[in-house]
Amino acid sequence: MLHGMEAYVQVFESVLGMALGTWFTDLGLGSDLSDLYWRYKGSPWFERLVMMEMIRLSSIPRVQNGFDAPSTPFLAVNRIDSVKVPSFDLKGQKLGIEVRFDLEGMGLWEHVLSVFVSTPEQLARDREQARFHNDKIKRIEGEYAKRE
């Protein structure tokens, strides 16, 4: 089990690496990083767009399944100070992203995140599968709701 900063790093990398619309229990979870990568690869806009995505993930709370109180996917991030992508080269489908965050109770924190980037084919396949299973879950929930 991970503790402390190792746990935070894993959360940040997992949230950024899970493409929006691919988690079957909640299609609204995830990030647009993979989509941004393929659309803006090589563009000077990419870093700014990734920074905006991180700001969204650290500032817009949502209620997640199984939790009563809304929270943000980037729980302890107070501010995104900087985001740099030194290279667009993927290593094992992972992109290195240099970040500087202001973390709750810790202050400024710098790290290189290694974020999984899905291919366009993986995105299409995973979103289709997630929608299929999500529809199935909703249909079953609807059947149980009718019985009550």
User: pTM for the complete prediction?
Assistant: 0.87
**Per-residue pLDDT at 1 exceeds 60:** yes
Q: Work out how many domains the chain is built from and give that number.
A: 1
State the average pLDDT for the chain: 91
| Mean pLDDT, rounded, for 120-134 | 97
pLDDT digits (tens, 9 = 90+) for 44-92: 999 999 999 999 999 988 776 666 788 888 888 999 999 999 999 999 9
Report the CATH number at residue 82: 3.10.450.40
Residue 2: pLDDT band by 50, 70, 90 thresholds? low
HEC string of the chain? CCCHHHHHHHHHHHHHHCECCCCCCCCCCCECHHHHHHHHCCCCCHHHHHHHHHHHHHHCCECCCCCCCCECCCCCEEEEEEEECCCCCCECCEEEEEEEEEECCCEEEEEEEEEECCCHHHHHHHHHHHHHHHHHHHHHHHHHHHHC
Phi, psi of 82 (to 5 degrees): -155, 155
Name the residue range of residue 67's domain.
4-147
- Percent of the chain exceeding pLDDT 90 equals 69
Closest among 120, 62, 108 to 81, alpha carbons compared: 108
